[in-house]
Structure 1
Amino acid sequence: MTQPPRRRMTARAIADELRAQIRNHALKPGDTLPTSRELAAQFDVTPKTVGAGIDILKAEGLVIGEQGGRRRVRADRPIVWNLTRFERGSRRDSAAGDDWSTAIRDAGREPAQHVTVHLAPADRRIASWLQIPEGTEVAQRVRLRTVDGQPYQLATSSFPMAIAEGTPLLEERDVSMPGGILASIGHPQHKVKDEISIRMPDPKETEELQLPPGTPVAEHVRIGYGDSGPVRVMVTIAPGDRHRLVYELEV
């Protein structure tokens, strides 16, 4: 009896097969995928179909492309970002690094922060968070945070000029002081409010954080309150593949 012809694999089916190999660690983080020609022979399809299947995995953030046409299983090492401990209680800021940098070093990783400072009118969101009129000038410290040389966070802190003027907040360098800069200049934070949203990055965030296609980000907003109202709002963009956000709450 004549056997019916074998059904040709689709790009989606190839993506499903490779995804399963990644999930069960037959293809491990950092492994190079077989070439398009090898996969085409394995699945009995054209290299074009293989490329379409791999593009699906790239969009899902499971595979990254490299120079020379190689494709590799993504091998990012996520950090645990404990937002309950971050900037709370007995801060670990010192001349060697702020609370964030200290936590990264404690995890056996190497942190760095690349800082730019500028003055800007407060947009609608910043004005709402800081409880000031829209368009009021604020000081902004923009920090590209790296771990082991790779971009991990883009953090923008905005301060009312009445707080920032004449202080280290306007210095374009990685400034850290025991207890935090705000406490050191006489404006300690007594409580914070967090807002977290998950979204796709904009083109600038994609470029600065070197995000592969299909990588979502968490936007973490922390508003710090002093004696008479907000003293700072920090908006941190954290790639979803490089972070585990942790909260510890008493119930």
Structure 2
Amino acid sequence: MGTISEIYESASADGPKYRAVADAIRGAIGAGTLQPGDKLPPVRELAWQLSITPGTVARAYTCLTDDGIATASVGRGTFVADPEANRHAARDRHFAHDNTAEESDLVNLFSPRLPDMGQVALIHDAFAQLSERPALDLLNYPTRTGYAPARRAALRWLADSDLGEVREKHVVLTHGGQSGVSLVMQAVLKGRWPVILVEELSYPGFRRAAELLRADVVAVPMDEHGIIPQALDEAASRHEAQLLCTSPEVHNPTGIVTPPERREEIAEVARLRGFHVLEDDCYRLSRASGPSYRKLLPGQGWHLSSVSKTLSPALRVGFAVAPDGLEGRLRRAAEHGYFGLARPLTDLTEDLLTRDETYRVLDGVRKEYQRYVRAAVEILDCSDLVWHEDIPFLWLPLPRGWRAGAFVRAAEAHGVQLRSADDFALRDGFAPHAVRLAINAQVSLKSFEAAMWRLRRLLEDLPDQIEV
């Protein structure tokens, strides 16, 4: 007994199947059935032999190449590595597995996933420091003055945003970015059926928050620079809109960056029509490219940031910044809704955001994301691809013949999860045939590159039935 199939069939059924496949191949190498330089069976052939999915075999092959047991050559296949090369093979270890990722046969590009560039150790240490805080902090309700150190620390986090004059009193700590969206809506909206404007493709959380507040949502057409000012003026006038929710620095999902000149035009429409503007700035990894709407629209511009996309989504900490004079409305919405963040969480936030190491970690996260973005751009080699190396997702308009829904289903069948443009459009709104590819830096770069090659082959091999 020494073939892959024999060893696999005799193995215990416990544990993930891809590990059993990888162990079976290791066993076949140890038994001498497979020799250095031997080509491993094609993924689909071995999957058929073992009655498992191709994604499971592909995951096993990735583990073997990551460990130096095998080598992969694009267009040729996967081969047993030479033992001497195996001992000295360079490994790409710059990623963090969680239990879900370990068990999955898919490369999940549904939402960006952060690499661990040292922030986990920082968070662990910050939690340890909490034990040194005064005991009475854990026996009393938090107060406004008690939150002040964390709000001041948030100002450092926000320092690379062009917010205009901003002080600690303008900042409200939120339970992540989505909580901040809801709080601003509560602070701004009036009447029985308020209207909120969003880009025709936009972050779905805007719509979800609006639904909770029984507000109507109206989509505004876009071009390559973002919201079209004339269309915004018409929509605001027709619907008597009270709030525009937008993302000019990193538009989700297209990656568009709205230039300063266009922002000025949009701000002028808001001044003329009297509606507020909420800027969601949670995805930006580098310094702001232009003035925020909070700066352009004193009294009407609100800003939102969080640590979720750049440091840790598990902490659920965000920062809503009110216009001068309206901070009381925002603070009351938070206090009446949940009294404020838990005191240990605010202490943790203060600790993390005042550490110089935290900002070095952020730079490391940005650089690691860049490696994955560059790999995707090089492999996909698509002129229509919208990307920036400091944005943790890419926007891919599909070639004629592919519909977004069909492409997403085909990609998942090949082990890659994506989001369709439909996910970002209103139910009766416009959705182009395009998909968003989020950067998953919690899988190895080799696994990510393999996923990109699978997507490229799909793009090149149009479906049998051309859809127009």
TM-score, with length taken from structure 2: 0.21
More helix as a share of residues: 2
TM-score, with length taken from structure 1: 0.32
More strand as a share of residues: 1
